[in-house]
Structure 1
Amino acid sequence: MIRRGLLNTLAIVLAVMWIFPVYWMVNTSFLPQNKARTSDPTFLPFGGDFSAYDRVLNPDFWHSFRLSLSVTLITVTIALVFAFLSALAVSRFRFGGRKGFILTILIVQMIPAEALFISQYKMLQGWNLLDSVAGLSVVYIAAVLPFTVWMLRGFVDGVPQDLEQAAMIDGCSRTGAFFRITFPLLAPGLVASGVYAFLQAWNEFTLATVVMSPSNSTLPLWLRGLAVQTNQATDWPAVMAGAVLVALPVIIFFMLVQGRMTSGLVSGAVKG
């Protein structure tokens, strides 16, 4: 009992340490600027208001929001389609160059993203895709695809082929057996991989800095511009309000898929 009590106490302390920065961000977003700048911390937003959100919710925010949402949806959709087909091919079929393909996926993940900036910039410049949704989506897809393929391969390996063969014996075609039997079992893996791709595309900063212009920025770049303003003191309540708005879609997305994501991660850990 004592050990369990100590472990529970430790868990509570760690949970408070983890959630406190999030609480401080939300709390500061409701404070007036004079309270946010004082050296005495204000732990409760008494007397606060929504004025920081009024300052943040301007046309620049909505432009960046639409841009980030478009790039993220394109990245998640295309990355999942190609990763799913690649994972099926690697897991279910034996073909020439299969081991080389798997090795290439591993090697690509070892290359630092910063080492590719110049070549990616030149490539997009040659294709006239700089400062565009299509150009940014291309580099994001290339960034998330290797790990997504590797992740989905573990889930596909965890579904026995005997299930498809049994369905085919019962009269299903190969395609019908796949979509009726195998595909529903792979849904948690697709959700877990989609969460990874979503987070990478939504929160990515450095590639967007290289590809996009200051007037056509994603939400992380917009938030950086909000915090760093020339010849002006930083409006910390507005910065925190912007951070809350940037994090809100991620929280909503997690709430929608958390059940599937949890089962998918556990399944991949056990069977992959």
Structure 2
Amino acid sequence: MSKRLANTLGIILALLWIFPVYWMVNTAFLPASQSRSTTPTFVPFGGDFSAFSRVLTPSFMNSLFLSLRVTLLVVVVALIFAFLAALAVSRFRFAGRKGFILTILIVQMIPAEALFISQYKMLQGWGLLNSVAGLSLLYVAAVLPFTVWMLRGFVDGIPADLEQAAMIDGCSRTSAFFRITFPLLAPGLVASGVYAFLQAWNEFTLATVIMNPSTKTLPLWLRGLAIQSNQATDWPGVMAGSVLVALPVIIFFMLVQGRMTSGLVSGAVKG
């Protein structure tokens, strides 16, 4: 009986979780007049793709390519630096190691909003305002502490004895690492990459501060759909835009979900 109750509660919670997603997709296919009706329409019979055609504009494509460039750059750079830092902290003993680990924890506690003014002034002095490089630099700094901490757990979970055994069999230290340890770190790299991807793809406040109104990432572009002066909000258009923004994330998850699940279970709670 307890198992049935647990399954029932699980199904109810799953339905509650997925309902906003369903409502977003449902509204995207409704006519504008019907979306404002006080009577909810749960199945969009007679709906069409007109909302998607309204939002698939050159502005959307520009924002899409900008977000893709920033996100991919952040994921690659963050994984490289986090991987090297996690490897150093886990495998080597050096002066300042404990201080470095403590600094990682402290940095994660600082509210992002407290850094906006200093970050803006810094990029202004470097001439990186309203640029992919400037925005990517801030995103990398934001995701790096947690990414290092996560990857450290994965590296700690792989015994150093495996590398030593490979070195006894004739491998160099570098060869032993890339043949033995690195493949075992793949789930951790995927899980960390997913975290960096989500943070960079969905980030809104930093992009608002750093980028000009004419240069928008997808979250800023989506905000522009919802806020239009002297016009009623086109809710089907906003929901269609939300679906388009969510699609790359869904595709990315489908590609890496196997590795991500094993990675989160095996390493994220270690260290």
**Which residue number corresponds to residue 162 of structure 1?**
161
Q: Which amino acid aligns with 1:188?
A: P
Structure 1 segment 137-176 matched on structure 2, within 5 A: 137-176=136-175
Matched, 1:183 2:190: no
- Cα distance change of structure 1 residues 98 and 63 upon mapping to structure 2, 3 Å threshold: same
> 1:257 and 1:65 mapped to 2: Cα distance?
21
> 2:50 and 2:181 mapped to 1: Cα distance?
51
Q: Which amino acid aligns with 2:183?
A: P
> 2:102 and 2:269 mapped to 1: Cα distance?
23
**Which residue number corresponds to residue 74 of structure 1?**
73
Deviation for aligned residue 1:4: 1.3
> 1:120 and 1:87 mapped to 2: Cα distance?
25
Per-residue CA distance 1:37-88 (angstroms, 9 max, x = gap): 1110000010000000000000000000000000000000000000000000
> 2:49 and 2:155 mapped to 1: Cα distance?
48
Q: Which amino acid aligns with 2:2?
A: R
Structure 1 segment 28-67 matched on structure 2, within 5 A: 28-67=27-66
Per-residue CA distance 1:111-138 (angstroms, 9 max, x = gap): 0000000000000000110001010000
Deviation for aligned residue 1:7: 1.1
> 1:25 and 1:144 mapped to 2: Cα distance?
28
Structure 1 segment 112-127 matched on structure 2, within 5 A: 112-127=111-126
Q: What is the aligned-residue RMSD (CA, Å)?
A: 0.8
Q: Give the structure-1-normalised TM-score.
A: 0.98
Residues 188, 260 of structure 2: 8 Å contact kept: yes
Deviation for aligned residue 1:212: 0.5
> 1:194 and 1:249 mapped to 2: Cα distance?
14
**Which residue number corresponds to residue 231 of structure 1?**
230
Q: Give the structure-2-normalised TM-score.
A: 0.99
**Which residue number corresponds to residue 130 of structure 1?**
129
Structure 1 segment 203-218 matched on structure 2, within 5 A: 203-218=202-217
Percentage identity across aligned positions? 82
> 1:152 and 1:91 mapped to 2: Cα distance?
9
**3-state SS, counterpart of residue 254 of structure 2:** helix
Q: Which amino acid aligns with 1:19?
A: I
Q: How many residues align?
A: 271
Q: Which amino acid aligns with 1:80?
A: L
Per-residue CA distance 1:118-174 (angstroms, 9 max, x = gap): 000000000110001010000000000011001100100000000000001111111
**Which residue number corresponds to residue 104 of structure 1?**
103
Deviation for aligned residue 1:271: 4.5
**3-state SS, counterpart of residue 22 of structure 1:** helix
> 2:5 and 2:224 mapped to 1: Cα distance?
44
> 2:11 and 2:269 mapped to 1: Cα distance?
28
> 1:219 and 1:270 mapped to 2: Cα distance?
32
Deviation for aligned residue 1:270: 5.9
> 2:110 and 2:139 mapped to 1: Cα distance?
15
**3-state SS, counterpart of residue 185 of structure 2:** helix
Extract structure 1 runs of 4+ deviating beyond 3 A: 269-272
> 2:195 and 2:268 mapped to 1: Cα distance?
15
Structure 1 segment 192-211 matched on structure 2, within 5 A: 192-211=191-210
Residues 147, 192 of structure 2: 8 Å contact kept: yes
> 1:185 and 1:174 mapped to 2: Cα distance?
16
- Cα distance change of structure 1 residues 70 and 27 upon mapping to structure 2, 3 Å threshold: same
Deviation for aligned residue 1:175: 0.7
> 1:49 and 1:238 mapped to 2: Cα distance?
12
